[in-house]
Amino acid sequence: MKRVANGIVLAGLLLATGGCMQNQRPGASGKPALDTSKERDLSYMIEREVDGRPVVMSGDDLEFRSGERFRLRFRPGFKAYIYVANRGSHQDSYHLLFPASEADHNPLDKGTATSLPASPAWLKLDQSPGDEYLTLIASTMPLEEFEKATEIPREKFDSELTDIERQYQPTSSRRFQDGDWTKYFAARDGDLVLVAKLALQHEKK
Protein backbone atom coordinates (compact mmCIF):
# COMPACT_ATOMS: atom_id res chain seq x y z
CA MET A 1 0.00 0.00 0.00
CA LYS A 2 1.33 3.44 -0.86
CA ARG A 3 0.21 7.02 -0.50
CA VAL A 4 -0.90 8.87 -3.61
CA ALA A 5 -2.11 12.40 -4.24
CA ASN A 6 -5.76 11.47 -3.82
CA GLY A 7 -5.45 9.14 -0.85
CA ILE A 8 -4.20 5.58 -0.38
CA VAL A 9 -3.93 2.86 -3.03
CA LEU A 10 -5.73 -0.32 -1.95
CA ALA A 11 -6.74 -3.59 -3.53
CA GLY A 12 -9.94 -5.07 -2.47
CA LEU A 13 -13.49 -5.74 -0.66
CA LEU A 14 -16.31 -3.79 1.88
CA LEU A 15 -19.48 -4.46 4.11
CA ALA A 16 -20.19 -5.45 7.68
CA THR A 17 -21.16 -8.09 10.18
CA GLY A 18 -24.25 -7.60 12.24
CA GLY A 19 -25.21 -9.31 15.46
CA CYS A 20 -27.93 -11.36 17.06
CA MET A 21 -30.11 -10.15 19.89
CA GLN A 22 -29.69 -12.00 23.17
CA ASN A 23 -30.47 -11.55 26.85
CA GLN A 24 -33.78 -9.79 26.19
CA ARG A 25 -36.85 -9.33 28.35
CA PRO A 26 -40.22 -10.77 27.22
CA GLY A 27 -42.57 -8.18 25.75
CA ALA A 28 -46.34 -7.92 25.98
CA SER A 29 -46.69 -9.74 22.66
CA GLY A 30 -44.75 -12.73 24.01
CA LYS A 31 -41.76 -11.87 21.82
CA PRO A 32 -38.45 -10.80 23.41
CA ALA A 33 -38.17 -7.05 24.06
CA LEU A 34 -34.74 -5.50 23.68
CA ASP A 35 -33.22 -3.82 26.74
CA THR A 36 -31.48 -0.75 25.27
CA SER A 37 -30.48 0.91 28.55
CA LYS A 38 -26.83 -0.20 28.27
CA GLU A 39 -26.46 0.03 24.50
CA ARG A 40 -23.70 1.92 22.73
CA ASP A 41 -23.73 2.50 19.00
CA LEU A 42 -21.41 2.97 16.05
CA SER A 43 -22.59 4.40 12.71
CA TYR A 44 -20.72 4.01 9.43
CA MET A 45 -21.14 4.34 5.67
CA ILE A 46 -19.18 3.87 2.46
CA GLU A 47 -19.07 6.60 -0.16
CA ARG A 48 -18.08 5.91 -3.78
CA GLU A 49 -16.82 8.68 -6.05
CA VAL A 50 -19.17 9.06 -9.03
CA ASP A 51 -18.49 11.87 -11.53
CA GLY A 52 -16.43 13.70 -8.95
CA ARG A 53 -19.00 13.59 -6.15
CA PRO A 54 -19.59 11.22 -3.21
CA VAL A 55 -22.46 8.75 -3.51
CA VAL A 56 -23.43 6.61 -0.51
CA MET A 57 -23.44 2.89 -1.24
CA SER A 58 -26.42 0.99 0.09
CA GLY A 59 -27.77 -2.53 0.34
CA ASP A 60 -25.59 -5.30 -1.04
CA ASP A 61 -24.36 -3.31 -4.04
CA LEU A 62 -20.73 -3.29 -2.89
CA GLU A 63 -18.84 -4.40 -5.97
CA PHE A 64 -15.94 -2.22 -7.07
CA ARG A 65 -13.71 -2.03 -10.14
CA SER A 66 -10.00 -1.33 -10.38
CA GLY A 67 -9.23 2.38 -10.17
CA GLU A 68 -12.48 3.33 -8.39
CA ARG A 69 -12.28 5.58 -5.36
CA PHE A 70 -14.19 5.49 -2.09
CA ARG A 71 -14.21 6.70 1.52
CA LEU A 72 -15.17 5.12 4.85
CA ARG A 73 -17.09 7.38 7.24
CA PHE A 74 -17.82 6.58 10.88
CA ARG A 75 -19.51 8.23 13.86
CA PRO A 76 -19.49 6.75 17.37
CA GLY A 77 -22.51 7.30 19.61
CA PHE A 78 -20.24 7.38 22.68
CA LYS A 79 -16.76 8.63 23.56
CA ALA A 80 -14.79 5.99 21.68
CA TYR A 81 -11.31 4.86 20.83
CA ILE A 82 -11.45 4.14 17.10
CA TYR A 83 -9.15 1.80 15.17
CA VAL A 84 -9.35 1.00 11.46
CA ALA A 85 -7.15 -1.74 9.99
CA ASN A 86 -6.82 -2.94 6.41
CA ARG A 87 -5.43 -6.06 4.74
CA GLY A 88 -5.39 -6.63 1.00
CA SER A 89 -5.91 -10.02 -0.60
CA HIS A 90 -2.20 -10.39 -1.34
CA GLN A 91 -0.92 -8.97 1.95
CA ASP A 92 0.32 -10.90 4.98
CA SER A 93 -0.19 -8.00 7.41
CA TYR A 94 -2.87 -5.56 8.49
CA HIS A 95 -2.09 -1.85 8.19
CA LEU A 96 -3.52 0.63 10.68
CA LEU A 97 -5.29 3.38 8.73
CA PHE A 98 -6.66 5.07 11.87
CA PRO A 99 -5.10 6.39 13.97
CA ALA A 100 -2.20 6.89 11.60
CA SER A 101 -0.88 10.34 12.50
CA GLU A 102 -0.87 12.93 15.27
CA ALA A 103 -3.87 14.52 13.55
CA ASP A 104 -5.97 11.42 14.30
CA HIS A 105 -7.24 12.05 17.81
CA ASN A 106 -8.36 9.25 20.14
CA PRO A 107 -10.75 9.07 21.82
CA LEU A 108 -13.34 10.64 19.53
CA ASP A 109 -16.13 12.52 21.27
CA LYS A 110 -19.69 11.23 21.01
CA GLY A 111 -21.22 12.14 17.65
CA THR A 112 -17.90 13.02 15.96
CA ALA A 113 -18.23 12.16 12.26
CA THR A 114 -14.92 11.26 10.63
CA SER A 115 -13.99 10.49 7.02
CA LEU A 116 -11.17 8.11 6.15
CA PRO A 117 -9.32 9.60 4.44
CA ALA A 118 -10.37 13.17 5.21
CA SER A 119 -12.23 14.92 2.39
CA PRO A 120 -11.39 15.71 -0.38
CA ALA A 121 -9.02 12.69 -0.44
CA TRP A 122 -10.14 9.17 -1.38
CA LEU A 123 -9.06 5.55 -1.06
CA LYS A 124 -8.25 4.19 -4.51
CA LEU A 125 -8.35 0.60 -5.70
CA ASP A 126 -5.26 -0.61 -7.53
CA GLN A 127 -5.19 -2.96 -10.52
CA SER A 128 -5.01 -6.22 -8.52
CA PRO A 129 -8.48 -7.77 -7.99
CA GLY A 130 -9.18 -9.66 -4.79
CA ASP A 131 -10.73 -9.35 -1.37
CA GLU A 132 -9.94 -6.31 0.77
CA TYR A 133 -10.52 -6.67 4.50
CA LEU A 134 -11.28 -3.60 6.60
CA THR A 135 -11.89 -3.83 10.33
CA LEU A 136 -13.58 -0.94 12.15
CA ILE A 137 -13.28 -1.03 15.95
CA ALA A 138 -14.91 1.29 18.51
CA SER A 139 -13.91 0.76 22.14
CA THR A 140 -14.80 2.38 25.44
CA MET A 141 -11.13 2.16 26.46
CA PRO A 142 -7.79 2.27 24.62
CA LEU A 143 -6.70 -1.05 23.12
CA GLU A 144 -2.99 -1.45 23.79
CA GLU A 145 -2.63 -3.93 20.94
CA PHE A 146 -3.42 -1.21 18.37
CA GLU A 147 -2.30 1.99 20.10
CA LYS A 148 1.24 2.22 18.69
CA ALA A 149 1.05 -0.20 15.79
CA THR A 150 1.31 0.72 12.11
CA GLU A 151 1.52 -2.83 10.73
CA ILE A 152 0.50 -6.11 12.39
CA PRO A 153 1.07 -9.63 10.94
CA ARG A 154 -2.21 -11.26 9.93
CA GLU A 155 -1.99 -14.17 12.39
CA LYS A 156 -1.21 -11.87 15.32
CA PHE A 157 -3.95 -9.38 14.40
CA ASP A 158 -6.59 -12.10 14.02
CA SER A 159 -5.56 -13.70 17.32
CA GLU A 160 -5.60 -10.42 19.24
CA LEU A 161 -8.95 -9.39 17.77
CA THR A 162 -10.47 -12.77 18.64
CA ASP A 163 -9.28 -12.41 22.24
CA ILE A 164 -10.74 -8.88 22.44
CA GLU A 165 -14.10 -9.99 21.00
CA ARG A 166 -14.24 -12.90 23.44
CA GLN A 167 -13.34 -10.76 26.46
CA TYR A 168 -15.77 -7.94 25.63
CA GLN A 169 -18.54 -9.93 23.96
CA PRO A 170 -21.84 -7.98 24.08
CA THR A 171 -24.90 -9.51 25.72
CA SER A 172 -27.02 -8.17 22.86
CA SER A 173 -26.43 -6.52 19.49
CA ARG A 174 -28.39 -5.33 16.49
CA ARG A 175 -27.76 -3.59 13.19
CA PHE A 176 -30.03 -1.61 10.88
CA GLN A 177 -30.05 1.10 8.21
CA ASP A 178 -30.86 4.66 9.31
CA GLY A 179 -30.87 6.87 6.22
CA ASP A 180 -27.36 6.79 4.77
CA TRP A 181 -25.84 5.35 7.94
CA THR A 182 -25.56 1.71 8.99
CA LYS A 183 -26.06 1.69 12.75
CA TYR A 184 -24.60 -1.03 14.93
CA PHE A 185 -25.81 -1.22 18.55
CA ALA A 186 -24.37 -3.45 21.28
CA ALA A 187 -24.88 -3.73 25.05
CA ARG A 188 -22.73 -5.06 27.87
CA ASP A 189 -22.03 -4.31 31.53
CA GLY A 190 -18.74 -2.45 31.86
CA ASP A 191 -16.32 -1.81 29.00
CA LEU A 192 -17.43 -2.69 25.49
CA VAL A 193 -15.78 -3.15 22.10
CA LEU A 194 -17.82 -2.93 18.87
CA VAL A 195 -16.25 -4.59 15.83
CA ALA A 196 -17.49 -4.18 12.25
CA LYS A 197 -15.68 -6.41 9.77
CA LEU A 198 -15.91 -4.85 6.33
CA ALA A 199 -15.37 -6.67 3.06
CA LEU A 200 -15.00 -5.00 -0.36
CA GLN A 201 -15.31 -7.01 -3.56
CA HIS A 202 -12.75 -5.78 -6.07
CA GLU A 203 -13.16 -6.98 -9.64
CA LYS A 204 -10.90 -6.09 -12.56
CA LYS A 205 -12.21 -3.21 -14.66
Over residues 41-89, the pLDDT tens digits come to 999 999 989 888 898 886 555 777 888 898 999 999 999 999 999 988 7
* 80-136 pLDDT per residue, tens: 999 999 988 788 999 999 998 767 889 999 999 999 998 889 988 877 777 788 899
Long-range pairs of 100-109 with CB within 8 A, sequence gap ≥ 24: 100/150, 106/81, 106/82, 106/142, 107/79, 107/80, 107/81, 107/82, 107/142, 108/76, 108/79, 108/80, 108/81, 108/82, 109/79
Closest C-alpha to 147, from 192, 92, 100: 100
Q: Distance between CA 160 and CA 146 in Å, rounded?
A: 10
For the entire predicted model, the pTM comes to 0.81
Residue closest to 183 by CA, chosen among 19, 61, 4: 19
Domain boundaries of the chain, sorted by first residue: 3-203
